[in-house]
Amino acid sequence: MPVLKDYLQLHFIVLIWGFTAILGLLISIPTVELVFFRTLLAALLLGAMLMQKKEQLFIQKTDLIRMLLTGGLIAAHWILFFGAARVSTASICLAGMATGSLWTSLLEPLMLGRRISLLEMGIGVVVILGLYVIFHFEFTHALGICMAITSALLAALFTVINVQFSSRYYAYTITFYEMVGACLVTGIFLPFYQWFLADNGQLHLTPSLNDWFYIAILAFVCTVYAYSVAVQLMKKFSAFAINLTVNLEPVYGIVLAFLFFGDSEKMTPGFYLGTLIILSAVLLYPVLKNYLAKRKSYRLAKPTR
């Protein structure tokens, strides 16, 4: 069972992730190249750490393939995440990411074989309501919202997958192979990106010194540290509980975005109403879950006549 320290650590990780959208806007190179360098630096650092500590590097072949493919999901998640922030705003991107709990409530029962929770589904419906309000008032940012929602779907998917890995492998080992997979998939995608999507058919593979500084923060703090600790916490929290807490990312991120970018991050009142609805669902979930658990315990403990 998680203790207070675990909850505080989880919220600190979410705060770090809320800062990633800000870093994505501070870096000048395009999104795909950004993800390539981020995953490359993260993989190199993790590999060096594992070799120095002489930790577990050899894993089963089937799990190796699954971790590398999961890394591909993470790469796609980040490309869409940073892309959403750039075609709209950091706030819009973070609001779309708050749908993670909805996707997890659907994916976790399907992939882990547990019963579908009516409470989680109800919370998911409230999240959809909040998104509807945001879409209604921020339709000009529809592309960014759709990209962020798809990014949240991929995040929920790899979180559920990692719950299965976390009970069998060291957290840094999992993160290392997933970063290798993310780097390889992004590297394979680069030529296709150059031919069909890149501006003027050119790649930007020479980041400035400022870019390297921000990419290093992304790789070492937001990736190596944050993702590895998150994988460790998966031994104590369910995938839904983790993704539900991640829904607080918009609160931290929107505040940080306003501090960094000022008026450019101001949104319509409808946006904040929709975000408030989503975050209310996040905060209400643990209260309702605890209440229902107590009611169930009371019914079981109550003597029958």
Give pLDDT, residue 228. Answer: 83
Give pLDDT, residue 47. Answer: 92
Give pLDDT, residue 263. Answer: 65
pLDDT in tens, the chain (305 residues): 777 888 888 889 988 988 888 898 899 999 999 999 999 999 999 999 888 877 767 888 999 999 999 999 999 999 999 999 899 888 788 778 877 777 887 888 888 777 777 887 788 788 778 878 877 777 788 899 899 999 999 999 998 898 888 888 888 899 899 999 999 999 999 999 999 888 888 898 899 999 999 999 999 999 889 888 888 888 888 776 776 677 677 777 777 877 777 766 567 788 788 878 877 887 787 778 778 878 877 777 666 55
DSSP, collapsed to helix, strand or coil, labels residue 56 as: coil
- Any idea where the domains of the chain sit in the sequence? 4-197+221-301
Give the per-residue SS3 of the chain: CCCHHHHHHHHHHHHHHHHHHHHHHHCCCCHHHHHHHHHHHHHHHHHHHHHHHCCCCCCCHHHHHHHHHHHHHHHHHHHHHHHHHHHCCHHHHHHHHCCHHHHHHHHHHHHHCCCCCHHHHHHHHHHHHHHHHHHHHCHHHHHHHHHHHHHHHHHHHHHHHHHHHHCCCCHHHHHHHHHHHHHHHHHHHHHHHHHHCCHHHCCCCCCCHHHHHHHHHHHHHHHHHHHHHHHHHCCCCCHHHHHHHHCCHHHHHHHHHHHHHHHHHCCCHHHHHHHHHHHHHHHHHHHHHHHHHHHHHHHHHCCCC
Give pLDDT, residue 303. Answer: 60
Give pLDDT, residue 64. Answer: 94
Its pTM stands at 0.83
Give pLDDT, residue 164. Answer: 84
Question: Do 152 and 282 contact (CB within 8 A), yes or no?
Answer: no
